[in-house]
Amino acid sequence: MRELVLKAENISKYYRLGLIGSSSLKQDLQNLFVKSRDGLTVEDPQHIWALKDVDFELHAGEVIGIVGRNGSGKSTLLKILSRIARPTTGSVRWKGKISSLLEIGTGFHAELTGRENIFLNGQILGLSNAEVKTRFDEIVAFSGIERFLDTPVKRYSSGMYVRLAFSVAAHLRSDILIIDEVLAVGDIEFQLKCIAKMKEISRLDGKAILFVSHDMQTIRNLCTTGIYLEKGRIKLIGDPPKAIAGYLNLDTQLSKHTYSSPHEAPGNSYIKIKRAELENSTIIHFEFWYTAEGNENLSIGIMLYNDLGQCVFDLASAPTRMENGLIKGACTLPENFLNEGQYVLSIAFIGDQSKLLFDFADCLNFNVQDNGKNLRWYGKRVGIVRPEFPIQLLNIDRDGAI
């Protein structure tokens, strides 16, 4: 068994929503009074458990990949592990040095030169002056921006900036590295270089890495363990493919929900789902019982995610005044629009364009097979969508040879 380097026990984080920061003294005194009386047990609608009872261990040489949708608590978890925020309950214990890369180029100063910024950023990330000095040539070589070392970074292109910033980060040699989705920037070539570097750090140097990514490919290639977070809780922990499948909800094909009465249907006091069904992977049918509080306008939002967890689109219907009772709706996706692959969709019910009445999250999933049969091209194409917009060709001059 490899050496245990970090143990998170029972960590939870409670956040206040809404008017963060602009709290007034009066409000705070009121809160103080409420808190001292009732503790944290009150389920205040203005508060949310961003993380709840999260437990895991990290060993030397291990790479843990965390997947989960936006708002599932990934960032909060990374913040707590990086010692930027405190957990509301529980504890994190570790040995050795933790470095966190929640962003690359933290603390870069636009007016200063690349050289100055290497030292500045390196030291902010926890290296000593001497350590930056000994790795300086390596950092510069990795970034490939030798010529611009004495130019202020505000004159850099965004690509150069990212390269320099990542090069500093790649030369950290902490026992535990905590990395947010920083790989999502930069060109493909540089991303591959970075992934290779991360492999080297974990496998050869035996450092532990914990990182968040929306790129399932990277998670599959790099991680030894996967964690799937949902609504602040660990839903699944284990082999990366398992966590990914759990996250994408692909274990079970869900293409139909039907409920005969409102009592057994999913939903709440506003919305009860009667039916949600997908026809031929193109038509989304849904029926629901609607109980409005007042004269609200209702609109429907449909969000579609692909198997990389990327949002393909976020549709919203025009707000309309609807009568209480059973309502039926449908949405037809055009044919020849989605690329091959797995998709998951959510249906949201919104009152007055601002109030989320109910989110029927990840309710349907489906698979798109290649249907571009008339094209002389086989295999999956790149791109999130694969529409068939016509491209017109026309001869305008027959004799105009080059």
Partner 1 sequence: MKQSAKLNTVNKWWQYETTASQKWFQFGLKDLYYNRGLILRFTRRDLLASYQQTVIGPFWIFLQPLLTALVYLIVFGRFAKMPTDGIPPILFYLAGSTIWSFFFDSLNGTMYTFISNTHIFNKVYFPRLVVPMSIILTQAVRLGIQLVLFALIYVFYYFIFHTASPSKILLLLPLLVLLTAGFAFGLGLLISIITAKYRDLDNILQFFLRLFMFATPVVYPASIIPDKYQALFWLNPLTPIIETFRAAFVENGKIPYYPLAIAGIEIFFLISLGLLLFKKRELDVMDSI
* Contact map string, positions 2 to 31, toward partner 1, x by CB under 8 A: --x--x-------x----xxxxxx--x---
Q: How far is the CB of 214 from partner 1 (least distance, A)?
A: 19
Alpha helices in 171-215 (DSSP H): 188-199
| Residue 353 engages partner 1 in binding (rule: CB under 8 A) | no
CB of 168 to partner 1, least distance (A): 12
Among 48, 85, 292, 327, binds partner 1 (CB under 8 A): 85
Q: Say which DSSP state 191 is in.
A: H
β-strands 320-321, 256-258 pairing: unpaired
Residue 179 or 248 having the CB closest to partner 1: 179
Residues 45-84 that bind partner 1 (CB under 8 A): 79-80, 82-84
Binding residue (CB under 8 A) for partner 1 from 45, 46, 111, 264? 111
Render 283-306 in DSSP notation, one character per residue: EEEEEEEE--SSS-EEEEEEEEEE
CB of 254 to partner 1, least distance (A): 37
- Kindly tell me which of 66 and 284 has the beta carbon lying closer to partner 1: 66
**Span interacting with partner 1, options 51-59, 62-70, 95-103, 280-288, rule CB under 8 A:** 95-103
Q: How far is the CB of 285 from partner 1 (least distance, A)?
A: 44
Distance from the Cα of residue 73 to its chain's centroid: 10
**84 or 283: CB nearest partner 1:** 84
CA dist 63 → 83, 84, 114, 178, 204 (Å) = 19, 21, 31, 10, 13
Enter the tokens of residue 195.
């992934």
Rounded least distance, CB 134 to partner 1, Å: 14
Give whichever of 153 and 364 is closer to partner 1, judged by the CB atom: 153
| Residue 128: C-alpha distances to residues 119, 173, 207, 306, 364 (Å) | 9, 12, 19, 43, 51
Could you tell me which stretch among 101-109, 158-166, 184-192, 224-232 binds partner 1 (CB under 8 A)? Answer: 101-109
Binding mask 120-149 for partner 1 (x = CB under 8 A): x--xxxx-xx--------------------
Please select the residue that binds partner 1; options are 53, 71, 106, 115, rule is CB under 8 A.
106
Would you call 389 exposed, middle or buried from its count of C-beta atoms within 10 A (0-12, 13-18, 19+)?
A: exposed
Q: What angle do CA 214, 215, 216 make, to 5 degrees?
A: 105
**Distance (Å, whole) CA 132 – CA 129:** 5
Q: State which residue, 94 or 337, has the beta carbon closest to partner 1.
A: 94
Instruction: Figure out which of the listed residues 86, 155, 380, 381 binds partner 1, where binding follows CB under 8 A.
Output: 86
* Gap between the Cα atoms of 12 and 233, Å rounded: 9
- Distance (Å, whole) CA 18 – CA 23: 10
Binding residues for partner 1 restricted to 286-305, rule: CB under 8 A: none
Read off the tokens for 25.
Answer: 């003294």
# chain residues binding partner 1, by CB under 8 A? 46
**DSSP assignment of 250-266, as one string?**
-SS---EEE-SSTTTSS
**Helix 158-170 vs helix 188-199: angle between axes, to the nearest 10 degrees?**
10
Interface residues with partner 1 (CB under 8 A)? 4, 7, 15, 20-25, 28, 79-80, 82-96, 98, 100, 102-103, 106-107, 109, 111-112, 116, 119-120, 123-126, 128-129, 152
